[in-house]
Structure 1
Amino acid sequence: MVKSAPPEIANRKPSKIEGIKENSNFLREPVATELLEDTNRFSEKAIQILKFHGSYQQDNRDNRVKGQEKDYQFMLRTRSPGGFIPPQLYLTLDKLSNEYGNNTMRVTTRQGFQLHGILKKNLKATIAAIVKSMGSTLGACGDLNRNVMAPPAPFKNQPEYQYAWEYANNIADLLTPQTGAYYEIWLDGEKAISGEEDPEIKAARERNGNGTVFHDNPEPIYGTHYMPRKFKICVTVPGDNSVDLYTQDLTLVVITNDKDELEGFDIFAGGGLGRTHNKEETFARAADPIGYVAKEDVYDLVKAVVATQRDYGDRVNRRHARLKYLINDWGVEKFQSMVEKYLGKPLEAFKPLPEWKYKDFLGWNEQGDGKLFVGISIDNGRVKDEGSFQLKTAVREIVEQFNLPIRLTPNHNLIFYDIDPENQIAIEKILKDNGVNSNPEKVNSLVRYAMACPALPTCGLAITESERAIPSILQRIEKLLNKVGLKNEHFVIRMTGCPNGCARPYMAELGFVGSAPEAYQIWLGGSPNQTRLAEPYVNKLPINELESFLEPIFVYFRNSREQEESFGDFCARVGFDEIRKFSENYKPETSNNKRKPSHRITVRNEIYTHLKEIANSQGKSMTDLVNEAVVEYLNIKC
C-alpha cells in the first residue's frame, strides 16, 4: 500500500489552512455557527471553509470609504458539469440575481454561473433555492475537485460528445464531497434532490484499490484534509480543444472504436496556470500526455491521480501545492509510476490523436437528430440588460417560452439546444427584439475570441481592471491594426487583473496580466488553438502606452509573417529577441514612409512547403526568396 504522507514534508509544519480544514468537522465549522450571527461578514477561518460550499466573501472596492466598514458581499458559483443548466435552474438563477444579487449573472470560464452581490443574510436562501432547482454550489470552490468541464456542443450524432458529457457528470459525482455539512447548513439537513446515485459511481468511490480510499471516514476519497489545493478536470473528444485541455490538472480524451463504441481514454495531467509575480518558483505549465486507460478502469484511474496529488502534493507551501508542481518536481515517469501503484496495474500506451482545434460553436447549427442548437456570444460572460442590449431579458424569455436546456461554454458563452426547427424564427425574433446577435460573422472578431476575468471591484485578488477595461482595449487594438494595414486581423486576447490566470491568459496569443494599477504584464506567443504556452515579454506595461508598444510588433508581424500565419505563431517562430530588435529600431509610420499595401499571390501547397524549407535553411523570408526567384526568372531590372 502507498504511504499517505509525503516523506519530504512529513516533519514540516503544514500551512495554516490545513489546520482550518482539519478543525472544520468536515466543512461545518465555523460556517454553521457564524451563519447564525447577526453580522454582514464571516471570519477568516470561516471564509476558507465557505469556499468549499461554493462562495467567496468579497467587498466592493468602489464603495470603500475610509473609516467605514467595507461593503461585504458574496459571490456564489454553480457546480455544473459540462456546463449543463436545466431550464428551471436558469430561471431560478435569473430570479435570484435580481432579488438578492446585482441584477447580472456571469458565465465562468469553467462552464458555471456566478451570482455577485449577495448579502450574508440572503446567502442561505440563495443556496437553498439553487439546490431545490436541480443545481448545486458544493465544490465549486475550495481545495477539491472543481467543476468538471466538457465540450458544450450537443452533437447527438457524434457519440464521443455524448460520452464526454456522461463521464464529466459521473466524475463530478465520484469526487463530490460526501460530508453532510452542505445540506445541514443550507437546507437544514434536507437533501432536496433525492435521485438515486449511479451504483457504479458509488461502488467506484468505495472501492479501495491500493490506498486510494480512507475507510471509516466521512470523506473516503478526500480524507480529513481534502486536497492540497484546487483540482481541475475536463473530459473532451479527439480534436476538440474548446476546453483548454492543456490547462487542466487532469484531462481525459474519449477514445472510440470503428463502431463508435467507447473503448477508453487518453490521459493528460499536470496543467495549471496560477502563478505569482516576481516568484520564479511559480509558473504556468501545460499538461503532459501520461498514457491510456480502458473505460472499465477510468474511475479507478481518476482516484489514483487524485490520491497521488492528495498524498504527495505540497501541504506546506500553497504556492507550490498544485499537481503541476508535483509532476514538474518528480518528472512524468515517476508520477506515472506512482499513479500505476495506486491503480494496481500499468497504464497503456497513449493513443494517437488528431490536431487540436479551438471551437466555439456560435450561431445556428444542426445537432444531428433533427433538432437545432444556437450559440450566443456573451462579452466576458456577463449576462445583463444594458441600454438596447437586453441579453438577460432575451435568455429568460426563451427559456420561459420554450423550456430549453442550456450548455455554458469554456469561452463563457451560452448554447440553447434541443430546439425544434419550427421554433427557430420565434427564438431569433426574441433575440433580435432585445438587441442580441446570433450570427457569429457579425461578432467583432477580436471580441469573439477574447476573455477577461471579473477583477475589480469585487475580486479580492485583483491588482487592476480586467472585465471593465477590456472593451476599450480591444477597440484600441482594432484601431491600431487598421492603422498598420491589418484590418480584420484577429487573434486570441485574454486579460486578468492578477497573475492567478482565471481567464487563462497564459495560453493567449496576446495576454494581459495585471501587475500594477493600470499596468499589465504582457505575454506573447500562445497558439490560436490553445496548445502552446505564451511567454512573458514585458513585466509592467502602463496601459496608456499600449499603442506605442504594440505598433512595431504589429508592423513586424505584417512585414514578416508567413502565409496565413497567426500572430501567436509568428511571435513563437521569430522569437522575442528579433521582436525586440525590430521594435528598438522602429520608426513610427507616417504618410510619407507608410508601407504600401502588399500584393498576395497563391502558390500550390507542394511549392509552398519547399519554399518554406529553403527559406528557413537560407535564413530568408519566403517573400524575399520568391521575389529573388521571379526577378531572376523574368530577368527584371529593379
Structure 2
Amino acid sequence: MPGGELTGEQWLKMDDIANQWGNGTLKLSSRQAVQFHGIIKFELKKTIQAMNDVLLDSIAACGDVNRNVMCSPNPALSPIHAQVFPWAEKLSQHLLPQTRAYHEIWLDEGKGEGKQLVSGGEDSAETLEPLYGKHYLPRKFKIGIAIPPENDMDIYTNCLGFIAIADGDRLAGFNVTVGGGLGMTFGRDDTFPRLADTIGFCTPEQMLDVAYKVLEIQRDFGNREDRKLSRFKYTIENFGVEWFKNELHERLGFELQDARPVTFSTGVDRYGWQQGIDGKWIALLHVEHGRIKDKDGYPQKTALREIAQSGLARFRLSGNQNLLLTEVEEK
C-alpha cells in the first residue's frame, strides 16, 4: 500500500475482514498501512485471500526486507505532489521480494504443482532474489518520501529518505538521506536513536537505482551477528558517511550531486477541508491513536463504511495515523 492509497471498494473489504475475522476494528499504522487485530491463525489464509480479491497484499509487511514505502499522501495538493506520488509505487515494486512463495502458500498458486524453488533453497536462490539473495537483509528496512515544506513522513527517522526538490512546478529530483531510526534497546548502551544524514541529490530517473544500491550495501555490510545492532543506522554509524558515499558511488557508476537547500516548516497533518489542483476536495480526519471503531456518540467506523459505499471519495492514510477522504466533488 505505497503512500497509503485505498479505493472505496478496498476500504469496504478491509472493513469486512475486520468484522468477520478480526476484533471489529481497523488500526491505521504509522507507516500508512492497515493492521487487523484479533485474527486467529486458522483464519489467516482466508484473510489474505480476501485482501487479494481487491488487489491488496501483505507482501513485505514484515520480515528483513524493505517495508511499505511512505509518501505524502495526497497527490492533488500541488503539481509537485502529483509528480512525486507515483515514485512511491515504483520504488515499492522495484524492491519487492521476487519469490512466489507468498502466492504459493496463501493464494494456492499452482495448487502444489510445479512449484519453483523459493528463496533459501540451493543453486537458484540468487536468481529468484537478485537483491535479497538467500539470507535477505540483516533487519527490516524503511523508506520515506517527503515533500517540503511538510515533513509529515518524519523523513530523518527512515533508513533511506528521498526529499523532493522542486524547480518551479517541475520535479527536479530528490535529496537523499541515509541512516535514520528511532529505536533502541533498554539496557543496551550501544543502541541509540539516530537522525539520517543527507548525502546528496539524485534525479528522478536515478532514484530506483540509488535505492537498490543502498539496500545492496546494507545486505553486504549490515551486522548479521547481533540483531540489536543490525539496523541500517548502525551500518552508517560504524562505517561512516564518507565510506558509505564512496561505496555507493562505486556501485552506481556515478556520483550523487550536491544536496539542494531544503526547509521544513511542519510535520503535522492539516485537518479539515482543502481543495486540490484538480478542483476536487480533500478532508483530513483525525483518528484517535489510529484506531477506527464505533463508540458511543461517535460511530466513525460505520460512517466511513457508508462513505465508501456511496463512492463519493477515495481513502488515503497519513503517516500520523489519520485518514484523508480524497477526490470529493463539490455538489
Distance 1:404 1:186 in 2: 31
The answer (yes or no) to whether the contact 2:126–2:133 under 8 Å persists in 1 is: no
Distance 1:355 1:235 in 2: 13
- Select the structure of larger CA radius of gyration: 1
The answer (yes or no) to whether the contact 1:154–1:373 under 8 Å persists in 2 is: no
Residue 242 (structure 1) aligns with: 152
Q: How does 1:149-188 map to 2 (within 5 A)?
A: 149-156=70-77, 158-188=78-108
The answer (yes or no) to whether the contact 2:125–2:133 under 8 Å persists in 1 is: no
Aligned partner (choices 245, 268, 288) of residue 336 of structure 1? 245
Aligned partner (choices 231, 240, 246) of residue 322 of structure 1? 231
Aligned partner (choices 111, 123, 128) of residue 44 of structure 2? 123
The amino acid that maps onto 2:145 is V
Distance 1:379 1:190 in 2: 43
The amino acid that maps onto 1:128 is Q
Matched, 1:108 2:7: no
Aligned partner (choices 133, 137, 146) of residue 223 of structure 1? 133
Residue 521 (structure 1) aligns with: none
Aligned partner (choices 280, 290, 297) of residue 371 of structure 1? 280
Aligned partner (choices 93, 106, 111) of residue 14 of structure 2? 93
Distance 1:113 1:106 in 2: 6
Q: Partner of 1:255: helix, strand, or coil?
A: strand
Aligned partner (choices 56, 70, 90) of residue 135 of structure 1? 56
Q: Partner of 2:37: helix, strand, or coil?
A: strand
So what's the TM-score if we normalise by structure 2? 0.93
So what's the TM-score if we normalise by structure 1? 0.49
Distance 2:98 2:229 in 1: 27
Aligned CA distance change for structure 1 residues 355 and 120 (closer, same or farther; 3 Å) = closer
Q: How does 1:54-453 map to 2 (within 5 A)?
A: 80-156=1-77, 158-189=78-109, 217-258=127-168, 260-422=169-331
Distance 2:329 2:312 in 1: 11
Task: Show structure 1 runs of 5+ residues with no match.
Answer: 1-79, 192-213, 423-638
The amino acid that maps onto 1:270 is G
> CA shift at 1:361, angstroms?
2.5
Distance 1:90 1:336 in 2: 42
The answer (yes or no) to whether the contact 2:166–2:173 under 8 Å persists in 1 is: yes
Distance 1:311 1:246 in 2: 23
Task: Show structure 2 runs of 5+ residues with no match.
Answer: 112-123
Q: Partner of 1:126: helix, strand, or coil?
A: helix
Aligned-residue CA RMSD in angstroms?
1.6
The answer (yes or no) to whether the contact 1:89–1:133 under 8 Å persists in 2 is: yes
The answer (yes or no) to whether the contact 1:154–1:417 under 8 Å persists in 2 is: no
Aligned CA distance change for structure 1 residues 154 and 253 (closer, same or farther; 3 Å) = same
Aligned CA distance change for structure 1 residues 225 and 397 (closer, same or farther; 3 Å) = same
Q: Partner of 2:36: helix, strand, or coil?
A: strand
Aligned CA distance change for structure 1 residues 136 and 215 (closer, same or farther; 3 Å) = closer
- Post-superposition Cα deviations, 1:320-339, rounded to whole Å, max 9, x if no partner, equal 10110011111211111111
Distance 2:15 2:309 in 1: 11
Aligned CA distance change for structure 1 residues 348 and 154 (closer, same or farther; 3 Å) = closer
Aligned CA distance change for structure 1 residues 330 and 363 (closer, same or farther; 3 Å) = same
Distance 2:243 2:75 in 1: 38
Residue 585 (structure 1) aligns with: none
> CA shift at 1:404, angstroms?
2.2
- Post-superposition Cα deviations, 1:129-158, rounded to whole Å, max 9, x if no partner, equal 1011121111011100011001123425x1
Aligned-pair identity (%)? 39
The answer (yes or no) to whether the contact 2:148–2:163 under 8 Å persists in 1 is: yes
Distance 2:274 2:75 in 1: 10
Distance 1:106 1:96 in 2: 12
Q: Partner of 2:326: helix, strand, or coil?
A: strand
Distance 1:190 1:288 in 2: 45
The answer (yes or no) to whether the contact 1:163–1:254 under 8 Å persists in 2 is: no
Distance 1:108 1:116 in 2: 12
Q: How does 1:460-479 map to 2 (within 5 A)?
A: none
Distance 2:231 2:68 in 1: 16
Aligned CA distance change for structure 1 residues 331 and 356 (closer, same or farther; 3 Å) = farther
Q: Relative contact order (alpha carbons < 8 A, sep ≥ 6): 1 or 2 greater?
A: 2
The answer (yes or no) to whether the contact 1:365–1:374 under 8 Å persists in 2 is: yes
The amino acid that maps onto 2:315 is I
Aligned length: 319
> CA shift at 1:190, angstroms?
6.7
